[in-house]
Structure 1
Amino acid sequence: MPNAISIQINSLVQRLGREKVNELKVLFSAHQCELKRIRASRHWQATGEHDALLIVATSLNDSDDPKLQRVRSSILKALLTAEAHLPSISFRVKNIISTLPKQDVTQLKQACIECSIHYKRVYRTAHVDLIGNGDQLAQLYWQLSLQSCSLELRKQLDVLAKHLAKHNVNLHEIDHRPNLIEMIKEQPNITLNELVSKTGCSLMDARQAFDDFEFNC
């Protein structure tokens, strides 16, 4: 696929269930596209040429399932991004070796790979530039926020959030926010108010997520 577009769809099985994901894989394959899991993560990647992915998204138009509509929205948003050739955003982590523990540096590098972000060492300095579009950096933010990491990395994520806000990237848009139930699973001690604060969801959505989590446990 010389002009292939890749789209990351987070926590696909957790959101849709294995059966619907398998149905989606058949749909993508029927239009010469591919839907596959990203290594050992919870996230999946859809790959295909622009027109083929547009047909897949159009095929989901008639679905009444809001979760499938979210997948459709993710595809269309990625296509718009590709069409508009959105400029890259660069975020600098200064003195990375002295700023972050070695484990966090490894964690950051892996997250950059999964979010298709360019991790670039600044020439003759100890700084690192993370380069990607707004969506990719937002995905990086949420992916690392859901993981266990040091206070130093948390501080860098706070700086990243402010940096993205300056570039008009809203971390709390529905396509950027993590799955609430997944976040509760990852952080079982999280409180209702913390969930609202971290994700920007409504209090009603947070309560529903806790109810669904307890019901499914």
Structure 2
Amino acid sequence: MNEAITISLPSLIHRIGRDAVNRAKVVASQYRCELKRVRRSRNWGLSGEAINIQSFAGQLKAESLTALELKTIDERGFRYLVQKIETALLDHADKLEPLTVKLIRLINENPNITLAELIHVTDCTMSEARTARFDADSW
């Protein structure tokens, strides 16, 4: 869950403009993400933890709505970037939910799952699996 992921953003400046990229870099750093060029190419990459990237995309979406109301930037500015991030996060959905929630969800989906299977699927400890089993049974 704490693994860093990287999202490829080809030709970012050509699609949203330099001003929008510079603003996105500032916002990304606030969410402990890094938006930077890939070596010396025109391609860009966004890297960070999945939850931080999701928060970053939410902030960009909020800023684009505010900017649209104030008519300060082109409406296409952050929309492309948010769409690319949300599409890429679909591949990393397992990293977006906390371990305890994931364990309880797996137990509720399959009540006959063993502790060993939970540990294998989620890479949790035995005590975390037992706690989740207890929490799921008490619901």
Q: Same fold (TM over 0.5)?
A: yes
Tell me what 1:15 maps to: 15
**Structure 1 residue 61 corresponds to structure 2 residue 71:** no
Distance, in Å, in 1 between the alignment partners of 2:81 and 2:31 is 16
Tell me what 1:77 maps to: 87
Distance, in Å, in 2 between the alignment partners of 1:59 and 1:7 is 17
SS of the equivalent of 1:29 reads helix
SS of the equivalent of 2:39 reads coil
- 1:160-195 per-residue CA deviation (whole Å, 9 max, x = no partner) reads xxxxxxxxxxxxxxxxxxxxxxxxxxxxxxxxxxxx
**What is the Cα deviation at residue 45 of structure 1?**
0.2
Distance, in Å, in 2 between the alignment partners of 1:41 and 1:11 is 9
> Larger C-alpha radius of gyration, 1 or 2?
2
Any unmatched runs of 5+ in structure 2?
69-74, 96-139
Equivalences for 1:88-107 in 2 at 5 Å?
A: none
TM-score by length of 2: 0.56
Contact residue 33 and residue 52 of structure 2 kept, 8 A: yes
Distance, in Å, in 1 between the alignment partners of 2:30 and 2:56 is 9
Tell me what 2:24 maps to: 24
SS of the equivalent of 2:78 reads helix
SS of the equivalent of 2:14 reads helix
Tell me what 2:109 maps to: none
Percent pairwise identity: 37
Distance, in Å, in 2 between the alignment partners of 1:59 and 1:84 is 21
Any unmatched runs of 5+ in structure 1?
86-217
Which structure carries more relative contact order (alpha carbon 8 Å, separation 6+)?
A: 2
The count of residues paired between Structure 1 and Structure 2 equals 85
Higher helix share: 2
- 1:25-81 per-residue CA deviation (whole Å, 9 max, x = no partner) reads 000000000000001111100001011101111112231422411110111111111
CA RMSD of aligned residues (A): 2.1
